[in-house]
Amino acid sequence: MSKEITFILDERNIKDNEIVYHGYNDSYYALFCHEEKIFTTQIALLDTRLFNKGYKIFIREYDGSTFEIKLGCNNTRTNKEIRKSHNLQKLLLSGIFSK
C-alpha cells in the first residue's frame, strides 16, 4: 500500500472522517511512525525528503480542491521540473502551483 500525506491549507476543508494532525510534533511523530495516510496542517513539514520515505504528497487548497506534487515534470499545476533539491514549502508559498 502506498503512503500518502495531505497538507491542508484551510481547516474549514477538513472532512468528517479524517484524523488531522494540527501540531508540528504530532505531525512529525506520524511521519516518524510511517503512518500510511497522514492529514496535517503543518506546511513546515512539506519537504522532498517525504519522497524518500515513500510518501505521495498532496495539497488541499483553500477552495477544497486537491492536487499532487510529484518529482520531475509530471505535475498538473506547474511546468517546472520538481527536483529533490527544491524547497517545496517555498515553491508552494510563492504560488508556483497556483491554478
Contacts of 97 (CB under 8 A, 6+ apart): 59, 67, 69, 75, 77, 78, 91
Q: Is the pLDDT of residue 83 over 90?
A: yes
Does pLDDT of 1 surpass 70?
A: no
Domain count, the chain: 1
In-domain check, residue 99:
no
Which cell numbers in the block locate residue 22? 494540527
Distance of CA 34 to the CA centre of its chain: 15
Per DSSP, 35 falls in state: -
Cell matching residue 95: 504560488
**Mean pLDDT score of the chain, rounded to an integer?**
94
Q: Does residue 41 belong to any structural domain of this protein? A: yes
- How many Cα neighbours within 13 Å face the side chain of 9? 15
Task: Note down the domain range covering 26.
Answer: 3-94
Tell me if 37 is assigned to some domain: yes
- Asked, for residue 82, whether it belongs to a domain, the answer is yes
Does the residue 18 lie in any domain?
yes
pTM summary value: 0.93
Q: What is the pLDDT of residue 62?
A: 93
